[in-house]
Amino acid sequence: MTEFSPLDAEIRDLLRFAAERSMMPRFRALADEEIEMKGVDDPVTVVDREVEQFLTEALTRLAPDVAVVGEEAVAADETVLEKLSEACWIIDPLDGTANFTEGKEPFGIIVALADAGTTLAGWLYDPHKDRLAHARKGEGAFINGEKIKARTSGQTPPIAAISRLFLNEEERAELDRKIAPHYALTDIPRCAAEQYPRLALGENDISTFQRTLPWDHAAGALWLNEAGGKVARYDGSEYRVDEPSRKGLLGASHPDLWEAFAKRLQGQLG
């Protein structure tokens, strides 16, 4: 039995429309002038901006008293981050932009609804699969309206999806010493809208994230926790959207896997 609340159905339709209108027609068809670099290895495209503008306007119409924090709005004006402490929508208009500009999957759209730093609901949309992973705090996790429970890969050693992209030399050495001998390491897909579902659908067991920006993680962290996995800071504290500069986040398909990995990070296990 599928279960879409009116809000879930509204968000699904908005994300689907944005992808069909702006995203999919430009996949593998971007002109050079439609891509800019915000920083090293950090592209932004006309699609990012167009989708964010559309969703900002649509969500404001849906809830006029709720602020909007979009990734590109923050790039233009960092004071927008101050809205993360109040009721707000959080938008990643094109998650996996680097993949998109290279003409490859995965990529998607992420929207979250938060208040006082806590995520209340989240939606991660994959336009290729027409897959909506969605959750409401305290009500469970869903894929296209079907309630799901996180499952592990069942592999020994567990599969750990870890990026070295934002690690310094010392952190890479620690990874090789403490973690690599105990896990089957694989790289991340560079798309949180894909990585979080992988942690619940039996593809990956563990994933670490160095940067924890709210448009990447607010929706996915809630969704995986609601599915019965575990997402938390390395010290076990909860993920909050109003701590955008804080580093380090650990997600796992099962709390026991989370605990074992966290202990190894802290040097409590050999």
Task: Provide CB contacts within 8 A for 179, sequence distance 6+.
Answer: 160, 162, 185, 261, 264, 265
Asked if 212 and 247 count as a contact pair (C-beta separation under 8 A), the reply is: yes
HSE-up (13 A, CA, CB side) for residue 182? 16
13 marked ligand binding residue? no
Closest CA to 179 of 195, 167, 193: 167
Asked if 124 and 223 count as a contact pair (C-beta separation under 8 A), the reply is: yes
Strands (E), 33-145: 35-39, 42-45, 67-70, 88-95, 108-115, 118-126, 131-136, 141-143
94 marked ligand binding residue? yes
95 marked ligand binding residue? yes
Asked if 64 and 85 count as a contact pair (C-beta separation under 8 A), the reply is: no
Asked if 176 and 200 count as a contact pair (C-beta separation under 8 A), the reply is: no
CA distance 62 to 9: 13
126 marked ligand binding residue? no
Closest CA to 112 of 255, 11, 186: 11
242 marked ligand binding residue? no
Residues that constitute the known binding site for Mg(2+): 71, 92, 94-95, 216
